[in-house]
Amino acid sequence: MSLCQGAAEGHRSGLKVQKHHHVPETKFQLYENSGEEDFCRILTYQLHTLDKCSFNTSSPLVIIVHGWSVDGMMESWIWKLAAALKSHKKQFNVIIADWLTLAHQHYAIAVQNTRLIGRELAEFVEWLELSSKYPRSNVHLIGYSLGAHVSGFAGSYVSGSAKIGRITGLDPAGPLFEGMSPTDRLSPDDANFVDAIHTFTQQHMGLSVGIKQAVAHYDFYPNGGTFQPGCNFLHMYNHIAEYGIAGIAATVKCAHERSVHLYIDSLLHDDKQSMAYWCNDIHTFDKGICLNCKKNRCNTLGINIRKERPQKGKKLYLKTRANMPFKVYHYQFKIHFINQIVGKQIEPTFTVSLTGTREDAENLPIVPVDGIHGNKTYSFLITLDTDIGELMMIKFKWEGTDVWANIWDTMQTIIPWTSGAPKKGLIVKTIRVKAGETQQKMTFCPQTHGNVQLYPAQEKTYVRCENEFAKGEQNGRRD
């Protein structure tokens, strides 16, 4: 048992005798409207402060728990998250758990302090329940970085068999937590439902800012959970070498904090909820083969997550944009290639242009990682920033230059093909598409029947196959 843990145990036993004399380190600030100073402090065991602050016992409670503090100041994301929660259609009580005095320490000391703050949070929730019959199942802790583990400890320290309703970990901290047992970090046992969003788990010198391992019922890994679109890490390692862990704090803020803004996004854009999909890893996801929603294999990131507890935790992956709203639309393209150049692997680049019932999307790149060889089906993930509606037509182009034409001419000269024999290229008979968000499956055939040959610098048009609509009317949009 660490020194801090031992102190916490003694502190806990002391509470049973003289709770009213204990002054918590944590300040519970009820956020009221929109300003950074617009809050009212609720004091544990002082019932009149609930009335003074107009705490609504019939509304859900969200407690925001910040993480390690470099400068001892509240970060701006706290107010943005609080305002987004207050603006949501649900009438939330929003409390900010201010533990800056113990978070503004050397990181290792702040880590030790997380258990003490967790106990104070648990004590606060128990007091609410005892004093005003406020059910702990209505409590949702949202913890960022170290605050995620504080929330986990709070959930584990609440007495009795009933648990806190929900804990959300926003890029839970990695250093001194990665690889630890469930009792020493945030875990699925800490609440009725636990979800986590991992946005900066990139390893450096054996440590990651955010924890890489799964810690929840649903663990989301946007863009693989390492780097995030729009975050520039060009000088990260130089900063770490020069400034140590403070360099990390200054440099990785963008990706680490992206977890918060993804959650805020889910509160502000009801019509653009990001969907994520169960997959083994990001490399498999990048092939597009995980866009399946059967048996709880997909879920919504953020406030509107489907709170079903799987028997075993699920890792979910998704792509996002660089800016809010972050939602993209995921598509799997399955293309069967026949490479007619026997014994030769080629490494082409393709682009697709899509025509939908609402919008079009042009020149989306497809690059086969291992080239094209033999007679094989390849799967690709394509993401769109906008909802194009139902996909109706695909223009598929083999990007190439005149160099390719010279290669074909040279090969015609060297190899004694019969006069008039067709050039050797690729055969693409059909393109099968699955839309992740709607789960709709579609098959596309060449617009010109029998025209299945594809050569460099050539573009072909594919439309829904003739039997596609009849099949769709019979089957609807079943997966």
185 annotated binding-site participant? yes
> Sign of torsion, CA 42 46 49 50?
positive
Task: Decide if 261 is catalytic.
Answer: no
Residue that the structure tokens 């026949």 belong to: 338
Residue that the structure tokens 């050569």 belong to: 455
Give 265-306 as a DSSP string.
Answer: HHHH-TTSPPEEEE-S-HHHHTTTTT---GGG-EEE-STT--
Residue type at position 256: H
Reported as type and span, the H/E element at residue 403 is: helix 402-414
List, in order, residues 6 or more apart from 210 with CB less than 8 Å away. 145, 171, 172, 173, 174, 198, 199, 200, 201, 225, 256, 259
Which of 171, 195, 219, 265 is an active site residue? 171
Residue that the structure tokens 């904090």 belong to: 257
Which of 69, 98, 145, 187 is an active site residue? 145
d(CA 198, CA 316): 10
Residue that the structure tokens 């996002």 belong to: 320
Q: In this structure, what token pair is assigned to residue 181? A: 């047992």
Give 296-349 as a DSSP string.
Answer: G-EEE-STT------SS-EEEEE---SSSS---EEEEEEEEEEE-STT--B--E
d(CA 424, CA 442): 29
DSSP H helix total and E strand total for the chain: 12, 22
3-class DSSP state for residue 196? strand
Q: Alpha carbon 220 to chain centroid distance?
A: 4
Task: Decide if 145 is catalytic.
Answer: yes
Shortest CA distance to 171 belongs to which of 259, 277, 251, 269? Answer: 259
Residue type at position 315: K
At 138, give phi and psi (nearest 5°). Answer: -90, 0
478 annotated binding-site participant? no
Q: Are 334 and 239 in contact (CB under 8 A)?
A: no
Residue type at position 176: L
d(CA 395, CA 428): 12
At 453, give phi and psi (nearest 5°). Answer: -75, 140
Task: Decide if 140 is catalytic.
Answer: no
**Helix, strand, coil: what percent of the chain each, to 5?**
30, 25, 40
Which of 198, 217, 256, 261 is an active site residue? 256
Please list the active-site residues: 145, 171, 256
**Residues annotated in a binding site for Ca(2+):** 185, 190
